[in-house]
Structure 1
Amino acid sequence: MSKNLPFRIERPISATCERVFDAWTQDESTRQWLFRTLNGTLIDSANDPRPGGALAITEERNGEEARHDCHWIELERPGRLVFQFFDVPATLTLTPTDQGCRAVLEHEVDPDYAERTLQGWQGIFDGMINSMADVPEMIVRRRLQAPPSVVFPLFTDPDSLAKWWGPNGFRTVTHSMDFREGGQWIFTMHGPDGKAWENVVDYLEIVPNELIRFGHGEPDAIHFENRISFAPTNDGGTEVVLQLRFKTMERKRDAMPYAVPGGHQTLGRLAEQLGE
């Protein structure tokens, strides 16, 4: 059996330490994102924020019940939370920053499961940020088997984008594309119901095989900024992260019902295009 190794994940969050602490200690919050999966159905949840109290989520996944049972060990608002994670204690430390707070989660992990554990916690933090009504951003990510040198070009060519860009059932028609910093992509998205949406992308920053940052909106208004990063994984693949930042919380609330599922579906179509 492999000896456990230290594990650490750090995330900046655009919210106060108090707000993040409360998100972790309220059942109506954690039941939305803690140990949740994209296709799972919530069966039961518990969050009793006191030493010895339960922290649990039960989902139905592919017809089977999956249960995560943890319990609280220490709670010191607003800077420290300790809970039992499987058979090891996990410590979440929250430190104030100028932009909100920095969250650091630490525990031990079997080295054979380190990469899976990292991806799991990244998804959990993404879900928490997406669910927080006072943080004007949303995050969607997907791991792909192809390297960044293969994935990145599929975002730069209109013929490639026509094959996968957009949620399930949508069709993208490009009118013009100037893929460079300061350039624009103008296109129409046709929905399965026959409706059409005119889109404009203003490219702000491009780092080949690493990053595309752009403003996204309609011909008369940019509604949000999208930061798409391409990170190589240890197994030779790519982790693609979509980070959408909105100008106002109202914009985020309006977009929430379709932006996150639409982002997952879009990256799913990208994976299919890559033969995954």
Structure 2
Amino acid sequence: MTDKIEILNERLFPVDRETLFEAFADPAQLASWWGPEGFSNRIAAFDLRPGGTWLITMTVDNGTDFHNRWTFEEVVEGQMVRMTHHEPVHIFTLEMRFADEDHGARLSWRMLFDRTEENEQLEKFLHAANEQNFDRLERLLEQGDRH
């Protein structure tokens, strides 16, 4: 047993791996799908390289802003991004892996949290929230023209 809480979501998308990766690597596309249902996003910084910073403000339907700060730890173009989420409140690591398969590209989304009582409460709804994130990404990819 690990001392970490792991949340894993995976989905096969009907696009090639490069298109799937670009939906994350392009801030304009990313802003349109990041987060669960009901959120809109403003990206103030997006420096996709090891040590780079990502600043995103997620706004929920009621107007509440959530300012998020990330650091990119490892980036393998078209294949993998590992980053640390610093704010607000919850510190965790997210690793996204992009892989070609017969009928599209698979995105594997692995979150690792320290095992705390608060994070154990988060675990109960994060898997479902991540699926909403994937739903939003799938809708973007279905639109075809993303620029």
TM-score (norm 1): 0.49
Are 1:238 and 2:127 an aligned pair?
A: no
Name which structure has the greater RCO, CA cutoff 8 Å, separation 6+.
2
1:1-276 map, 5 Å? 15=1, 136-218=5-87, 223-235=91-103, 237-275=104-142
**Alpha-carbon spacing, 1:170–1:183, altered in 2? closer, same or farther (3 Å):** same
State which structure, 1 or 2, has the greater radius of gyration over its C-alpha atoms. Answer: 1
Q: Mind listing any 5+ residue stretches in structure 1 that lack a counterpart?
A: 1-14, 16-99, 101-133
TM-superposed deviation, 1:234: 1.7
Aligned residues of 2:31 and 2:43 also touching (Cα < 8 A)? yes
Query: C-alpha offsets along residues 110-139 of structure 1, whole Å, 9 cap, x if unaligned?
Result: xxxxxxxxxxxxxxxxxxxxxxxx751111
TM-score (norm 2): 0.89
Query: C-alpha offsets along residues 216-260 of structure 1, whole Å, 9 cap, x if unaligned?
Result: 1316x661000111111122x111111000022434313223311
Q: Mind listing any 5+ residue stretches in structure 2 that lack a counterpart?
A: none
Aligned residues of 1:139 and 1:244 also touching (Cα < 8 A)? yes
Aligned residues of 2:4 and 2:115 also touching (Cα < 8 A)? no
Aligned residues of 2:113 and 2:119 also touching (Cα < 8 A)? yes
Give runs of ≥4 in structure 1 deviating > 3 Å.
none
In 1, distance between residues paired with 2:115 and 2:50? 25
RMSD of aligned alpha carbons: 1.8
In 1, distance between residues paired with 2:74 and 2:118? 23
Aligned residues of 2:31 and 2:42 also touching (Cα < 8 A)? yes
Give SS of 1:168's match.
coil
In 1, distance between residues paired with 2:67 and 2:4? 27
In 1, distance between residues paired with 2:137 and 2:66? 21
**Alpha-carbon spacing, 1:146–1:269, altered in 2? closer, same or farther (3 Å):** same
Aligned residues of 1:172 and 1:189 also touching (Cα < 8 A)? yes
In 1, distance between residues paired with 2:4 and 2:45? 33
Aligned residues of 1:215 and 1:222 also touching (Cα < 8 A)? no
